[in-house]
Structure 1
Amino acid sequence: MFALALGLLALRFLPALPSFGWLLAMLLLALMLLPFRTSPLAFFLLGLSWACISAQWALDDRLRPALDGQTRWVEGRVVGLPQQTATGVRFELADSRSRNARLPKRIRLSWHGGPPVRSGERWRLAVTFKRPSGLLNFHGFDHEAWLLAQRIGATGSVKDGDRLTPARNAWRDTVRQRLLAVDARGREAGLAALVLGDGSGLAAEDWRVLQDTGTVHLLVISGQHIGLLAGLIYALIAGLARYGCWPRTWPWLPWACGLAFAAALGYGLLAGFGVPVQRACVMVGLVLLWRLRFRHLGIWWPLLLAMNGVLVLEPLASLQPGFWLSFAAVAVLVLSFGGRLGPWSVWQAWTRPQWLIAIGLFPVLLVLGLPISLSAPVANLFAVPWISLVVLPLALLGTALLAVPFVGEGVLWLAGGALDGLFSGLALLAGQLPAWIPAEVPLGYWLVSLAGAVLLLLPKGVPFRLLGWPMLLLAVFPPREPVPYGRVEVVQLDVGQGQALILRTRHHTLLYDAGPRSGETDLGARVVLPSLKKLGVGSLDMMLLSHADADHAGGAAAVARGLPIKRVVGGETRGLPAFLDTQACISGERWEWDGVSFELWQWPEAISGNPKSCVLQVQANGERLLLTGDIDRAAEQALLSSSLAVTTDWLQAPHHGSRSSSSRPFLQRLAPQSVLISRGRGNAFGHPHPQVVERYRALGSQVYDSAEQGAVRLQLGAFLPPVVARSQRRFWREPLP
């Protein structure tokens, strides 16, 4: 069982999938070894082979490159729970068909300004297709891996459509609509998350509060909810039998175990059977089976069986952070509660698991790059029993009684009030202790931290147990290698159709542009701020905003709220938040940080907008970088008369490589060896223009495009080639072009 689990999990770490010949060889070797004592190796190979075959099926089901960017009419059935957003609706389409084109089995679509869409409906839609992709940064969320784990073979935007047939067998969506229609003190979306596992209706502020307090698991259906419901049903029947209220002709134990398991499966079906729910249902079933047979249940075997069950059914589950968190949390509890010489008191059983889970999950959250809640142990002390014993029973009871006039609505009103009170308390705690985003930790220090966490989870009396604390804290304060004197570490982040670059000298940090913001999507908060913290940046010496357009300055407010900033400079001061206290860009201003020189320039005749962009030249050890914002040809012509018009090693492509910029005289004067382009894949503006790219190629410039290569990291002053995020090989990523 352990060997099978290792083989299934190995898929997560493969840089590329083995060829058909290697797969066949592994399968044959596994079958040959099965009858012998080397069977663990056979099961490892069987697990790895099955995982690779399943992953290859998912990769083969992706949209063909020839259809990328094309608009086609497609027919299909809406599956899952559509998500209504402020600007439209997002949903998934299955059983899709299009004339003369083979489409993936599952497609994720967005419809800006579209009508309400219900699960189970069939639609005929005009869709502009995209191959699965996402922003790719060194420390960010891997959207491409998430899409593959969901077996989504394409994404797309809907241009037009007609409903062909109404919804059929869409009972989950019907329940959600009923829940969202009741008066639950403004917490209807929270109740839908508890009952159905649908968190799409929760506001961004609610998600922030849950993340800051480490209570996300309480509003997204987890094993705790499944186990609680099964336990309540079992305890109810056992109590009835004990006091003589259960029919004597019905043996109470088989009924208690059967009904408890049926309740767990029913709740799992209502929740959509995610990975934590699958794990919980398997483990609950094993516990009840062993209880029915009066057998002693081992500690690790049920957990191992649940893991194998989940991975055999869906080998790609290991690509999801929730898989690792779910099983790691249960493993921490098993390790902490198992093997003790005496029972804990009620107070210890209530308080200790929260601290032990916080310690045990610390290395897991660290390696997954997720925020770590400092207030989680305290928040969960009162949040777990409040949700488990008050809110969840009321929410499930109210949902079951919705068919009874006024009764179900009344119970849900009480549940909503209880949930609202909890959120009020969590918001106060989150305001005092927001989530901590730790800096990147080298692998060696992380392994020491992991060993320290395991030591601290062991019972008292284990030799050297207290050494776990300094070992664990080594990941909190790891030694860092500073940027060499006279050099600059430059990171161009992948922020889609926008721009953000981080420049770090030995003791100073500058942010040039802060990423885009559009509606509820703020990449300053989602990408720029986490990336700064992952690099160990505690404050900014300067945030330089080239101009006030939303794709360059939209994320500035989020960055300013998350980090102290000594000085904000902008090419435009109008259009930026007043609290930033932005200073105007002064052409000709120079300064030096740690042996690196900086100089600003702005076209004095520019009135506003792109031509008014504040240009920054950086020179380190004779190697130059020029950041140009969105200047146009007229501003480029004016720049040729300034001191910045010299040979440049690195050029940030003006205006994302648009046709209105990168004029031939400008490029010939600067003669850049390398060009950085920051833009969104398949953007509506056609950036970069093919003619502009051809000019770069004609000069012999090496082009680094964020849409194709992801984030780019280089060390200015070292005259070395850069590192691009897509060069980190993963089997689910398309290779570099």
Structure 2
Amino acid sequence: MRTGMMALAVGLLAPVFMPALPPVWLMLALPVAGLLVLPFRSYPLVFLLFGLTWTCVSAQWALGDRLPVALDGETRWLEGRVVGLPQSGDGVVRFELADARSRHDKLPTLMRLAWYAGPTVNSGERWRLAVKLKRPVGLLNPDAFDYEAWLLAQRIGATGTIKDGQRLAPARGAWRDSIRQRLLEVDAQGRGGALAALVLGDGSGLSREDWQVLQDTGTVHLLVISGQHIGLLAALMYGLIAGLARLGIWPLRWPWLPWACGLALAAALGYGLLAGFDVPVQRACVMVALVLLWRLRFRHLGAWWPLLLAFNAVLLFDPLASLRPGFWLSFAAVAVLIFTFGARLGPWRWWQTWTRAQWLIAIGLCPVLLALNLPISVSGPLANLFAVPWVSLVVLPPALLGTLLLPVPYIGEGLLWLAGGLVDWLFRGLAVIAGQWPAWIGPSLPVWVWALGSLGALLLLLPRGVPMRVLGWPLLLILLVPPRERLAEGMADIWQLDVGQGLAILIRTRHHTVLYDAGPRFGEFDLGERVVLPALHKLGVAKIDLMLLSHADADHAGGALALMRGINLRRVVSGDPPGLPAALRAEECETGRQWQWDGVHFQLWQWSDAEDSNQRSCVLQIEANGERILLTGDIDTHAERSLLDSPLAVPTQWLQSPHHGSRSSSSMALLKTLQPESVLISRGHGNSFGHPHPTVLARYRKQGLRIYDSAEQGAIHLQLGRFKPPWTMRQQRRFWRDPPAVAR
């Protein structure tokens, strides 16, 4: 039976790693094949085929519920019901709309919408909305968060921006939203948002600074409902009944073990109901139920058997759960604990158990976090040492009890005031730790390096005295300082990152790094912090010798301050220094300035008669081994005419499309003079500016240019000096991504 369960787990997981789903005829043939081998008692194969079929069919259903390509970018009037907990922040209301209907078009079952400067939206309301619809796409960068996979796992078939709308019916049965409003309004010493996260799993009330502190200290799991919260409440209820029985207070006519297991499960389900029963909560409840069943009836089966059953139960209920990082982290953490504390010859003292558990979980999860491209908290073991019992035993009881007693005057509010103060003390302590030891984002690793590091972590989890255990430390350290392949002299490695409606291009030579533009920032949404900085860390960039900000517009220079705070930045040059924050200390772009790094030639140019920031863009030409690229910022046709009289007006293989391909740029004179072979476009999918303009695209095609568009192909990687086509992120096939676009 265990072999069959392991085969089922493999079958349920396998499709997630496939570049494409099998064709429909093969999906139909798999269960038939399973029935054919059933008489031969090949049960593991039957389980494998069943798991494979179930995940493939579920994934195909989710993909089939996506917005049709014909409606991408279209605006439609539709009606639907608000579900979940709407989020408000930075002047934007975001929520999910279910059961949407349009007069003529079939729409996805669930959509995620954004309403800029919109009214208050409550869960359970029905709305009629004018929505600009988009297929579920996201930014694609090396080893970054995959937004498209997350949307598919959530069964969200479309996103959209609301243009107008009207409420058709008030909220019905939205008691969770009502509780959230009470938690946000109650006097909780300024920590109502944290209590809403702890009680309801709604983190929208936490500030960016709060999230950063939690990430740096590895304590995100404590403030947003996870399996730990559900399991904790169940354990407290079980421990309470067991303690009463041990003290002789529990009635003898009631067997304490069945009552303890039953009440613990009831507590877990009740907390899950309060948290909305989303997928992480469902997963936790399944695991708690199986653990309690194991405790009640099957104690002789060991700890690994219920973990395997819980693993399969979660994937059977939600086959796409493995697309979420939280799925892997939760099961990996439990597996590390079982492996660490199981089969020991002697018990540890309680304080040894608690301290070692934190360090061993940190070691065990290190390879998992790197594989999932998540930051690693250096201070996590220390922070969790006191944060876990503080939240579990001190904060959570008054928070839950205060929420339940909110209808009782003074008592519920008083308990929440106390819980808010306790949470505030927690954040103050965590902020001190985070200030000293911020989270570390590891570089991308070759598979063999990751495998050696994982072996090192496994060795360190073994008991003392095991032969060769000491080799775990050097093997684990390989993950921290992996070997790097240096570029050849005279070559330049270039990444055009996918930053939406903005620009960020990374240029690396053998020993130096240049960043041309820093990505956009719109309000509090900083792509420099969220995309560019993590990408630099993943690519192994420890310092930037020169950050060249073409001009001061927010879509090009908005992320500069975040980069200055997060990486060693040696020099800043810009075409428009007065328009930038004084903290950057940007220098003027000097026309004609040239230099050479590691055999790669760089040259700057700026239009002397520029009248606005776009025209003042600092242009950079890079030449490696006779192959050239021209980075143009947002210059227009007037600046282009002047450029044609400069030394940069020479045949150039690569052209960064001026001003994202706007109609006011990319003149035919520029294209004929430079004679580019390929053009790079950086722009947002379905952007409101209409970039790139159809006229400009027609001009590129007329000249026979190959067009590489970040909105269609994600981040683009080329090695200047090799005269070879680039590699794009959509060439990394995943079944939930649209096929890679061919360079036009």
- TM-score for both structures, normalised by structure 1: 0.98
Q: Which residue of 2 aligns with 1:378?
A: 382
2:305 to 290, 301, 307: 301
2:174 pairs with 1:173: no
What's the offset of the Cα at 1:460?
1.5
Report the more deviating stretch, 247-256 or 90-99. 247-256
Report the more deviating stretch, 135-144 or 484-493. 135-144
2:535 to 531, 536, 541: 531
**CA distance in 2 between partners of 1:645 and 1:540 (Å):** 28
What's the offset of the Cα at 1:280?
2.8
1:725 to 720, 724, 729: 729
What's the offset of the Cα at 1:471?
1.1
Q: Which residue of 2 aligns with 1:627?
A: 631
Counterpart residue identity of residue 424, structure 2: D
- CA offsets per residue over residues 436-472 of structure 1, 9 Å max, x none? 1111110111011111111111111221111111111
User: Identity of paired residues, percent?
Assistant: 69
2:646 pairs with 1:642: yes
Q: Which residue of 2 aligns with 1:240?
A: 244
1:320-719 correspondence to structure 2 within 5 Å? 320-719=324-723
2:223 to 213, 219, 224: 219
- CA offsets per residue over residues 464-491 of structure 1, 9 Å max, x none? 1111111111121111111111010000
Quick check: 2:13–2:322 contact (8 Å CA) kept in 1? yes
2:183 pairs with 1:202: no
Report the more deviating stretch, 346-355 or 241-250. 241-250
- CA offsets per residue over residues 94-152 of structure 1, 9 Å max, x none? 01100011000001000111111111111111111011101111221111111001000
2:63 pairs with 1:56: no
Secondary structure at 1:79 match in 2: strand
What's the offset of the Cα at 1:533?
1.1
Quick check: 1:542–1:569 contact (8 Å CA) kept in 2? yes
**CA distance in 1 between partners of 2:671 and 2:584 (Å):** 34
**CA distance in 1 between partners of 2:592 and 2:204 (Å):** 49
What's the offset of the Cα at 1:297?
4.6
1:93-172 correspondence to structure 2 within 5 Å? 93-172=97-176
Report the more deviating stretch, 457-466 or 307-316. 457-466
Counterpart residue identity of residue 530, structure 1: P
Quick check: 2:632–2:658 contact (8 Å CA) kept in 1? yes
CA gap of 1:35–1:187, structure 2 versus 1, over 3 A, is farther
Counterpart residue identity of residue 171, structure 2: A
What's the offset of the Cα at 1:244?
4.7
2:45 pairs with 1:45: no
**CA distance in 1 between partners of 2:371 and 2:138 (Å):** 21
2:263 pairs with 1:259: yes
Counterpart residue identity of residue 450, structure 1: S
Counterpart residue identity of residue 317, structure 1: A
Report the more deviating stretch, 684-693 or 271-280. 271-280
Quick check: 2:294–2:306 contact (8 Å CA) kept in 1? no
What's the offset of the Cα at 1:247?
4.2
**CA distance in 1 between partners of 2:81 and 2:650 (Å):** 59
Secondary structure at 2:353 match in 1: helix
Q: Which residue of 1 aligns with 2:7?
A: 3
Quick check: 2:290–2:310 contact (8 Å CA) kept in 1? no
Counterpart residue identity of residue 332, structure 1: V
**CA distance in 2 between partners of 1:569 and 1:239 (Å):** 68
Q: Which residue of 1 aligns with 2:322?
A: 318
CA gap of 1:316–1:287, structure 2 versus 1, over 3 A, is closer
Q: Which residue of 1 aligns with 2:72?
A: 68
CA gap of 1:276–1:108, structure 2 versus 1, over 3 A, is closer
What's the offset of the Cα at 1:299?
1.5
1:25-44 correspondence to structure 2 within 5 Å? 25-44=29-48
Counterpart residue identity of residue 407, structure 1: I
What's the offset of the Cα at 1:511?
0.2
Quick check: 1:572–1:608 contact (8 Å CA) kept in 2? no
**CA distance in 2 between partners of 1:705 and 1:279 (Å):** 39
**CA distance in 2 between partners of 1:511 and 1:608 (Å):** 23
**CA distance in 2 between partners of 1:665 and 1:575 (Å):** 30
Report the more deviating stretch, 161-170 or 589-598. 161-170
CA gap of 1:299–1:249, structure 2 versus 1, over 3 A, is closer
What's the offset of the Cα at 1:242?
4.1
**CA distance in 1 between partners of 2:620 and 2:90 (Å):** 37
Quick check: 1:498–1:551 contact (8 Å CA) kept in 2? yes
- CA offsets per residue over residues 302-336 of structure 1, 9 Å max, x none? 11111111111111111111111111111101100
**CA distance in 1 between partners of 2:295 and 2:67 (Å):** 48
**CA distance in 2 between partners of 1:512 and 1:487 (Å):** 17
- CA offsets per residue over residues 148-178 of structure 1, 9 Å max, x none? 0100000111111111111111121111111
Q: Which residue of 1 aligns with 2:22?
A: 18
Counterpart residue identity of residue 704, structure 2: G
**CA distance in 2 between partners of 1:444 and 1:379 (Å):** 32
Secondary structure at 1:403 match in 2: coil
Query: What is the RMSD of the two structures over their aligned residues, measured on CA atoms?
Result: 1.2
**CA distance in 2 between partners of 1:226 and 1:63 (Å):** 35
Quick check: 1:287–1:297 contact (8 Å CA) kept in 2? no
- CA offsets per residue over residues 52-89 of structure 1, 9 Å max, x none? 00000000000011111111111111001100112121
Q: Which residue of 1 aligns with 2:193?
A: 189
Quick check: 2:142–2:538 contact (8 Å CA) kept in 1? no
Which consecutive segments of 4 or more residues in structure 1 shift more than 6 A? none
Secondary structure at 1:460 match in 2: coil
Counterpart residue identity of residue 489, structure 1: D
Report the more deviating stretch, 593-602 or 295-304. 295-304
**CA distance in 1 between partners of 2:215 and 2:254 (Å):** 47
What's the offset of the Cα at 1:249?
4.3
- CA offsets per residue over residues 311-364 of structure 1, 9 Å max, x none? 111111111111111111111011001111111101111101110111000001
**CA distance in 2 between partners of 1:252 and 1:475 (Å):** 48
Q: Which runs of 5+ in 2 are unaligned?
A: none
Counterpart residue identity of residue 692, structure 2: P
What's the offset of the Cα at 1:232?
1.6
**CA distance in 2 between partners of 1:566 and 1:37 (Å):** 68
- CA offsets per residue over residues 252-296 of structure 1, 9 Å max, x none? 332222111100111112223344433332232223223333743
